[in-house]
Amino acid sequence: MHGDRAVPLKIVVAGGFGAGKTTLVRALSEIPPLLTEEPMTSASVGVDDIRAVPDKHTTTVAMDFGRITVDDSLILYLFGTPGQDRFWFMWDELARGSVGAVVLVDLRRVDDCFPAVDYFESRRLPFVVAVNGFPGTDAFSREAVADALALAPDTPVVRMDARSSDSCLSTLVALVEHALDRTHAVHH
């Protein structure tokens, strides 16, 4: 550690449309989060599937940003990606320099998370799969989720509630531990 400067770590929060990315950033950020949510309009009809999230009236169009000071030595910067594929061109910029990613999953719409899983796997960026606790999704085991997503055996799968700061923080801890384990394995 150089003096009393905290180490900043960048974390990407990704996943499908309506999986809880903005909710996670809101739950954790110690500063008023920067949110680029816009009202959903008739232009999204037939494009964005809101059947599983009928109360969703806004969508992220650029990114969400939040900050968490863990302690005097560590600050986490959260960058939430937009969920729709028409905004994926921004993912490379959001992921550049990050320590890893949280891929939020709504098991009612599991297909929506495959692009995020594929994205981080193809770039060899450490990630955890965070199963957000939507109603009726607790019946699936960690192994069933890992199998359904064809995850590598070392990819952590955690259960969480994006509305709970404690739950979100546990997910970030799992990500940082996973990233450190991967770094340690590469160097030894």
CATH of the domain at 134: 3.40.50.300
Residue 64, both tokens: 């969400």
Inside any domain, residue 18 = yes
Backbone angles phi, psi at 131, to 5 degrees: -80, 110
For residue 173, how many C-alpha atoms fall within 13 Å in the half-sphere facing its CB?
Answer: 9
Inside any domain, residue 1 = no
Inside any domain, residue 110 = yes
Inside any domain, residue 143 = yes
Question: How would residue 47 be classed by pLDDT, with cut points 50, 70 and 90?
Answer: very low
Question: How would residue 34 be classed by pLDDT, with cut points 50, 70 and 90?
Answer: confident
Give the strand order in the sheet containing 34-39. Answer: 34-39, 58-71, 74-80, 7-15, 100-105, 127-132, 157-160
Q: What is the DSSP letter of 136?
A: T
Asked if the model's pLDDT at residue 147 lies above 70, the reply is: yes
Q: What is the DSSP letter of 20?
A: S
Over residues 122-147, mean pLDDT:
92
Number of Cβ within a 10 Å radius of residue 142: 14
Inside any domain, residue 51 = yes
Query: How many structural domains does the chain have?
Result: 1
Structure confidence at residue 65 (pLDDT): 87
Q: What is the DSSP letter of 32?
A: P
Distance CA 174, CA 49 (A): 30
Inside any domain, residue 2 = no
Distance CA 32, CA 11 (A): 17
Number of Cβ within a 10 Å radius of residue 148: 15
Domain with 126 in it: 7-187
The residue with greater pLDDT, 153 or 38, is 153
Inside any domain, residue 149 = yes
Question: How would residue 89 be classed by pLDDT, with cut points 50, 70 and 90?
Answer: confident
Dihedral class, residue 111 (left if φ above 0, else alpha if ψ from -120 to 50, else beta): alpha
